[in-house]
Copies of this chain bind each other. A is one copy, B any other.
Amino acid sequence: MKKTLAPLSVLFEPRSVAVVGASRRPGSIGAEILRNLISFGFRGPVYPVNKAAEVVLSCKAYPRVIAIPDPVDLAVIAVPREFVLEVVRDCGRKGVKGLVVITAGFKEAGHEGVAREIELQRLTREFGMRVIGPNCMGLINAAEDVRLNASFAGGVPLPGRVAFATQSGALGEAILADARDLGLGIAKFASIGNIVDVTATDLVEAFGADPAIDVILLYIESFGDPRRFTQIARSISRDKPILVVKSGRSAAGARAAASHTGSLVGRDVAVESVLEQCGVLRAQSVRELFTMASAFANQPMPNGDRVAIVTNAGGPGILATDACAGLGLRLATFSNATRRALERALPQGAATQNPVDLIADADATRFQKALTAVGKDPGVDAILALFVSPVTTDALAVARTIAAAPSASGKTTLACFMGKEQSDEGVKILRGAKVPVYRFPEEAASALAAMCRWRRFRERKPGELPRFDVDAAAARRVLAKARKAGKTLLLGGECEPILRAYGLPVARSIVAADVGAAMRFAGEVGYPIVLKAESSAFVHKTEVGGVRANLENGDQLFEAFSDLERRLRPKAKDLRIRAQQQVKGHAEVILGASFDPVFGPLLLFGLGGVYVEVLRDVAVRVHPITDVDAAEMIRSIRGWPLLSGARGAKPVDVAFLEEMLLRLSCLVGDLDDVAELDLNPLIIGADAKRAAVVDARIRLRPKERG
């Protein structure tokens, strides 16, 4: 179905626009949209549609869309909710191909609204229309040959190469206003509202292909189809930075988002993972979104993370240094040539090390010499120029000097002008030269850190989704059999055939009908042996003392077997005693999978025991994971040194662990029935041949009704 839809250009590049609900009442939404369309200079004709008025804002108005004599490409609908569907039918008959439905009162407004929204979706699909909204604030395309402002936003965006899509209309309004205030130019804007058709992902795709756009900003509360988002964002983010504020981070926020958009939000750990996996930069706040965006929109990417700080004030220099260090940037070490040049250029008392402190009375010439010296240093990738304007210095001359620096050095340059009142004009000069200028040094550092983060994303190998020689059919048979027996939970040895089918080694075991069988098994695989009690009467066998380990010989095996029988049989009629080969290794890890209603299977890795349960030291990724993801997961836990062999710990076979994670990823991808899976623990040493899962749990997905 999706493929037959018209491209988004029917929305962003219409040749003519009708405003349905165009009103004569100043301040009404219908009036504002019409005014915006006209005053922004839309290149084609705009037709007001108003049941009563013959003229609106000096334009001839029509009582219905079908009464317009000429073709209409796009209709903006701002009529009361009860008339929307009628208008859509008119538009369909008229051959309108794009709709912007501003009107609210759909999915967000109870049962009746939901029904209205379903009908809106059905109708517009039937007519083959592309739709933005309903319940949105419209869209903008600032391209010179279009000049479409089909929104009721106050104020006009500055020219620029940033695109912005928002799931919250109100936030869109605010962000457009702030963008103007902060000098960020917008090429395209869309408020997607309740999303009956065009999604944030559709917009990312369109913005990605749009040569007028360098940077993509998003505010989203929910992912529609996270797989499609991942796929598209992963490829676009290699060319253009995608910066996102994703709300619903906390449980309370997720509930609020769900009630706001009517969509499930998914676990935030999955959101983090998806964004990280597809190279999308998440801003922690709207303020940070702007901080990042103005750097990406204006400056070239740095070639590395070595920063030079040039300042006329010690305090801000130290704050910038702290912020850089805290964000993982490196303070550049200057070459001898640079040091000498700085020593020649600067007076006594100035600091020629990084941060370079020009001291308070530094004028434009001193700034110029210092910026030139560090700009030439091959060990410098980016420059933060900090200026506090003292009354005694010509701030505008300094601004002009900093503004000229990047074109001379070719290096990423961000500025901080402190003491706002004296420097508004300086800020304008810098912005005019495309040097982003921040109010506080920490913000300049954070913008630069985001750029370096994106550079690392792009340098990352794309990764592969390896396939293994597995026996999915065998695993499915075991699951089907369990289903048939009415089981929803497979424990311990019951999981073994499924894991073996995917090449996940499991400690050899049998259910021993009697102690003799256990002894024969021990004779086969060798001592030591572990005995484990299994029963539907208990889930955690350790809590009932159901595990006896380190059984070194037949005597100990006999004693332990009898003990389990005696203690547990009375409570557990279906008691089975499993005899298991005792695995040797020095590290316990957990591999797991669980199902998120939005993102599907999540894969988990951590160190066993208290590391996961108490310290919550785990890595989570959304399925499917590449080999690069698997390698990153294992290395990202705090306890990684315990596996890598650092600090005197014995190393484990990490390549083997990576393969196990990838095999697990295949397993959860193949076997839809698996809702939750824990391999806890897998014991591993330096030699992976002896590594094995010693306990496992698989929870089946509840059978769908019908």
Contacts and interface: CB of A to CB of B under 8 A. Distances in A.
Interface in A5-20: none
Given A420-B177, A421-B181, A285 B442 contact: yes
A586 to B, nearest CB: 12
A259 B313 CA distance: 13
Contacts of A441: 286
Nearest to A265: B318
A256 B321 contact: yes
A618 to B, nearest CB: 13
B154 A391 contact: yes
Number of copies: 2
A286 B169 contact: no
Interface string A145-186: 000000011110000000000111111011011101100000
A112 to B, nearest CB: 9
A638 B615 contact: yes
A325 B390 contact: no
Contact of A173 (B248, B314, B388, B613): B388
B168 A322 contact: no
B325 A251 contact: yes
A360 B420 contact: no
Interface string A1-39: 000000000000000000000000001110010000000
B639 A259 contact: no
B391 A318 contact: no
A109 interface: yes
A171 B313 contact: yes
A318 B253 contact: yes
A614 to B, nearest CB: 5
B326 A152 contact: no
B253 A392 contact: no
Interface in A230-246: 245
A93 interface: no
A169 to B, nearest CB: 7
B170 A442 contact: no
Contact of A355 (B256, B391, B439): B256
Contacts of A287: 439-440, 442-443
A323 interface: yes
B178 A315 contact: no
- Of A109, A250, A642, chain B has the most CB atoms within 10 Å of the CB of A250
Contacts of A250: 321-322, 324-326
A276 interface: no
Interface stretch (A346-354, A527-535, A564-572, A595-603): A346-354
A568 to B, nearest CB: 19
A441 B175 CA distance: 12
Nearest to A388: B170
Contacts of A153: 391
A676 interface: no
Interface string A584-613: 000000000000000000000000001001
Interface of A: 27-29, 32, 104-105, 108-110, 113, 152-155, 166-171, 173-174, 176-178, 180-181, 219, 221, 245, 247-253, 256-257, 259-261, 284-287, 312-319, 321-326, 331, 348-349, 351, 353, 355, 357, 359-360, 388-392, 418-422, 439-443, 543, 610, 613-617, 638-639, 641-642, 646-649
20 contacts: A104-B349, A154-B419, A154-B422, A168-B316, A168-B318, A170-B313, A170-B314, A173-B389, A173-B419, A248-B318, A248-B322, A256-B314, A256-B351, A259-B353, A261-B314, A287-B440, A610-B642, A614-B642, A614-B646, A615-B617
Report, nearest first, the 7 A-B pairs whose CB atoms are least far apart: A168-B315, A170-B313, A250-B325, A174-B418, A109-B349, A260-B314, A253-B322
